[in-house]
Homo-oligomer: A and B are copies of this chain.
Amino acid sequence: MARTRDPAVRTLLLERAAHMLRTREPLTLRSLVAGTGVSTMAVYTYFDGMDGVWKALRQEGFTRLAARLTTVAASADPVRDLAALGAAYLRNALDDPDLYRVMFDATFELQDPRAADETLYALVQAVERAKDAGRFRDDVDPLELATQSWIVGHGLASLTATGPLPPETLAHGIPLLTALFTSAGDAPDRCRRSVEHGWQRLLQPSSTPSEQLRSRRDPHR
């Protein structure tokens, strides 16, 4: 019983905001709508102001990360998969460092916290598969080990993608994860091979993940 709002406008603005963040253009209310034909008020209709845009960007970051992690297929070597998940996590942060940063900006609360949990869940599952395969001890708590892997991955991502350490530092991921998984019961030599294998993924830069994501969300286009 009223004029309806066009969801395409929302995705257009959000996509544009993400692009501006990626290209390091200053993201202001007026620069966001400039050239799009929509007026500044549209931002208030769809996002309730610039804070809402940042919140939506934060959510978008977790959505893209979750989508990226699902591209890591489960193989016969679950420890390799764990390292591959870590590598995918880092690849995501490196490809869009500013988006990664807002993901961890607690200034704007997350509308849907499940998105954040989902990323951790992928790790938990891999740890469980490693336990099933006998690679980790039975007393290993999957959630705890997954969290610890996340802490290592985030430390690496934060210090290299958006921090002071050079990209070569990423190589530290191999000894760090090897040490962690070895402490969980895996045999040192085998563990190192698995981690190195899974870590390979870091070297190959991904092919425009945002394009893939868009076509997934909007099949018609």
- Chain A interface (Cβ within 8 Å of chain B)? 104, 106, 110, 116, 144, 147-148, 150-156, 158-159, 162-165, 169, 172, 175-176, 178-180, 182-183
Overall SS of chain A's interface: helix
A104–B164 touching, CB < 8 Å: yes
Nearest CB on B from A175, distance (A):
7
Closest B residue to A176 by beta carbon equals: B148
Bound CA span A175–B148, Å: 9
* CB–CB A183/B172 < 8 A: no
**Which of A110, A154, A169: most chain B CB closer than 10 A?**
A154
* Cα of A183 to Cα of B180 in the assembled complex, Å: 9
Which B residues are CB-close (under 8 A) to A159?
A: 104, 150-151, 154
CA of A148 to CA of B169 in the docked complex: distance in angstroms? 9
Whether A172 contacts B158 in the complex (CB less than 8 A), given A182-B179, A183-B182, comes out as no
Q: Which of chain B's residues has its CB closest to A192's CB? A: B183
User: In the complex, A156→B155 CA distance in Å?
Assistant: 7
Which one of B150, B152, B183 contacts A151 once the chains associate, using CB atoms below 8 Å? Answer: B152
CA distance A179 to B116 in the complex (A): 26
